[in-house]
Amino acid sequence: MADKSMTAGPRAYGLLLATGAMLSLVAATAKLASQADLNPYLVAGAPPAVAGAVLWVIQRRRGVIVRLSSTHLRYYAVAGLLSVAAPYALSWSAIEHVGAGFISATYALPPLFTYALALVTGSERPSARRGFAAMLSFIGVAAFFSTRVDLRQDWLWAAIALATPVLLAIGNIYRAAAWPKNAPAASLPPGMLVLAGLWLLPLIAVTTPAHGMAITLSQLMILGLQAGLIAAFFSVFFALQRIAAPAFMSQIGYVSFGLGVPLGAILFAEAAHPVDLVWMAAVGAGVVLFGSGEARRTPQAERHPEPLISAGVVRSG
């Protein structure tokens, strides 16, 4: 068995940066959709479904079978709800009120929640180093929140946005526990993304009249861009998954936070404070400390692949 003490290499850090960048761009595109008066539930449901269909075709051409047994369909439905449909619906509904930077910051929290749940369920062993690193990043994110939102006015939208990392953490644990036997990692996201879109069809149907039935060309381009980014996110994610240990991958959300805050300030003129650099540095230090000493994937890990689509990943098997 491969030595799991190997430090993550430059390629792993490069892919981690690319994956986090994709996640922050997904949030920025959702902000664009909000400004274009697109139905947030349409933005939450249609792009993942399209991305899932595209990945389905790609994987089929590569010889990867997306299975449709009752076990697989149940996995797609529950994982799609917890990891995509519900988090996206909550985040994209709140983004107009709290901003793209705030939403990117919420995606930095699942690693902490997932790690805590993993400790409780026994799927992770306690580690003083990783615990300290997670708390360091959490403090940076929490301090950022305190300067970002006026809780006297936006507390409800902030609470809605903060429900997202809780759902993602629960989804991480579910996917680790319910991963279909012998299913390759690349075979699961297409079904999960398509089912996520189907979950939101009732909300889309009910809320569409308030946003208008017609879709303009610019709105359609935003939806297409969102779908492309989600598909690209998974392409990069797969490459990272092949070479990085689960704990290292769980830092994707922290990277998204570090990139999403300046992106929100540049693209949408969201408020930025010099002290934000201090909090982002704390998050960055936590990322490096959390990932240091983590190994490349072992043969055992390849037989028991990790859950997907999250800012925090826990070990299965």
Q: What is the largest CA-CA distance in the chain?
A: 58
Q: Which two tokens stand for residue 201?
A: 């069809």
Rounded CA-CA distance 199/196 in Å is: 5
Rounded alpha-carbon distances, angstroms, from residue 114 to 90, 158, 196: 19, 20, 21
Rounded CA-CA distance 61/183 in Å is: 17
pLDDT (tens digit, 9 = 90+) per residue, 62-109?
999 999 999 999 999 999 999 899 999 999 999 988 888 888 888 877
- Alpha-carbon dihedral sign for residues 154, 277, 225, 192: negative
Helix (H, G, I), strand (E, B) or coil at 67: coil
Per-residue confidence (pLDDT) for residue 52, from 0 to 100:
95
Helix (H) or strand (E) holding 68: none
Q: How many CB atoms lie within 10 A of CB 119?
A: 15
Rounded alpha-carbon distances, angstroms, from residue 116 to 20, 144, 176, 317: 22, 21, 14, 18
pLDDT (tens digit, 9 = 90+) per residue, 5-31?
345 578 888 888 998 899 899 989 999
302: CB partners within 8 A, 6+ apart: none
Per-residue confidence (pLDDT) for residue 111, from 0 to 100:
72
Q: What is the pTM of this model?
A: 0.81
- Alpha-carbon dihedral sign for residues 167, 170, 175, 178: negative
Per-residue confidence (pLDDT) for residue 182, from 0 to 100:
87
Classify residue 270 as left (phi > 0), alpha (psi -120 to 50) or beta.
Answer: beta
Helix (DSSP H) and strand (DSSP E) numbers for the chain: 15, 0
Low-confidence ranges of the chain (pLDDT < 70): 1-8, 123, 149-152, 210-212, 238, 241-242, 245-247, 249-250, 287, 290-317
Per-residue confidence (pLDDT) for residue 235, from 0 to 100:
79
Rounded CA-CA distance 105/103 in Å is: 5
Amino acid at 12: A
Per-residue confidence (pLDDT) for residue 262, from 0 to 100:
82
Strands (E), the chain: none
